[in-house]
């Protein structure tokens, strides 16, 4: 499977109209698109004016055919009235290790990720329709350690998350470039369920099992006391973002 993320900035006061447009036009169009299995519109919890269109595909070839065949361009043009004039942003790590949104000329940045590990929480492998909260964790893996990290994630993280209340699905995404970045994407029935998971300490325990595969800077920070680590931000820290699922639908 393959995940595609398109990030935009919404015009002030246009979020409700964008959500309605996405439900009435974008989702039906994607439902008729070969290989598309899910489409959802997400709103950033930390930057409410920023949204992501998340789609799941049977293969990268299907996703690329959708983009190159003109359907993506048509849907984007129809959506532009709801986007700010400077709506093209990409998400990246800044020098002080915080997530930042950098303007990009003309087009929203599209990120494609092969799915290297996933849960089977639904019989079809699709995200559950009633998931309302998304959590994206960005990590940097040491060169040559991606296969081991993926194995550990499949062995420990997925089984553990299957038993956590409110967790609907889990995906591990590989960047496919030289950044050695991976994304852990989990979907939840509510914000409260995701917060309870974070407060339980399970997230930290799972990271402890994987830490020898993560970047040297991350391991150095873990060797510091909590107070020192909090004042030592690096570009390779584990980053966590949260999103509200405004609307979404499974296909097939």
Mean pLDDT of the chain: 81
Q: pLDDT, tens digit, for every residue of 111-127?
A: 777 787 777 554 344 44
Question: Is the Cβ–Cβ distance between 245 and 129 less than 8 Å?
Answer: no
**pLDDT at residue 211, as a whole number:** 86
Summarize pLDDT for 138-192 with one digit per residue, the tens: 888 888 899 999 999 999 999 999 999 999 889 999 876 666 788 899 999 999 9
Position 26 pLDDT exceeds 60: yes
pLDDT at 130: 56
- Whether the pLDDT of residue 128 is over 60: the answer is no
In order of their start, the domains of the chain are: 2-250 (3.30.70.100)
Task: Provide the β-strand partners of residue 90.
Answer: 102
Q: Picking from 67-71, 117-121, 194-198, 211-215, which range would have the lowest pLDDT averaged per residue? A: 117-121
pLDDT at 181: 84
Express as a percent the part of the chain with pLDDT over 70.
Answer: 73
**Model confidence over 199-230: pLDDT tens digits?**
999 999 998 899 889 875 445 444 444 444 44
* pLDDT reading at 98 higher than 90: no
Looking at residue 177, its pLDDT comes to 62
Decide which of 197 and 238 is more confident. 197
| pTM for the model | 0.76
Q: For position 242, what pLDDT does the model report?
A: 87
Q: If we measure between CA atoms, which residue out of 1, 80, 11 comes closest to residue 36? A: 1
Note the residue count of the chain. 252
**Which runs of E-coded beta strand occur in the chain?**
2-10, 36-44, 50-57, 83-93, 99-103, 110-118, 133-140, 167-174, 181-188, 239-250
Choose between 224 and 85: higher pLDDT: 85
121 by DSSP, 3-state: which?
coil
pLDDT at 39 over 50: yes
- Selected residue with higher pLDDT from 96 and 105: 96
CA atoms within 13 A on the CB side of 69: 10
Radius of gyration of the chain (CA): 18
């Amino acid at each position: 499977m393959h995940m595609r993320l398109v990030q935009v900035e919404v015009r002030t006061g246009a979020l409700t109209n964008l959500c309605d447009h996405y439900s009435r036009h974008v989702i039906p169009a994607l439902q008729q698109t070969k290989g598309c299995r899910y489409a959802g519109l997400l709103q950033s919890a930390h930057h409410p004016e920023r949204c992501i269109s998340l789609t799941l595909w049977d293969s990268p070839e299907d996703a690329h055919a959708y983009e190159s065949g003109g359907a993506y361009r048509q849907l984007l043009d129809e959506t532009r009235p709801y986007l700010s004039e400077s709506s093209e942003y990409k998400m990246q790590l800044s020098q002080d290790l915080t997530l930042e949104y950098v303007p990009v000329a003309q087009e929203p940045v599209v990120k494609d990720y092969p799915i290297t590990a996933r849960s089977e929480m639904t019989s079809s492998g699709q995200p559950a329709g009633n998931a309302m909260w998304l959590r994206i964790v960005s990590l940097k893996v040491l060169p040559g350690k991606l296969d081991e990290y993926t194995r550990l994630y499949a062995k420990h993280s997925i089984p553990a998350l299957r038993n956590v209340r409110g967790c609907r699905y889990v995906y591990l995404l590989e960047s496919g470039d030289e950044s050695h970045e991976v994304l852990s994407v989990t979907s939840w029935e509510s914000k409260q369920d995701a917060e309870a998971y974070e407060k339980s300490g399970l997230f930290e325990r799972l990271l402890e099992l994987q830490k020898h595969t993560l970047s040297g800077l991350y391991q150095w920070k873990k060797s510091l006391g909590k107070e020192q680590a909090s004042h030592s931000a690096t570009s390779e820290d584990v980053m966590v973002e949260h999103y509200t699922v405004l609307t979404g639908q499974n296909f097939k």
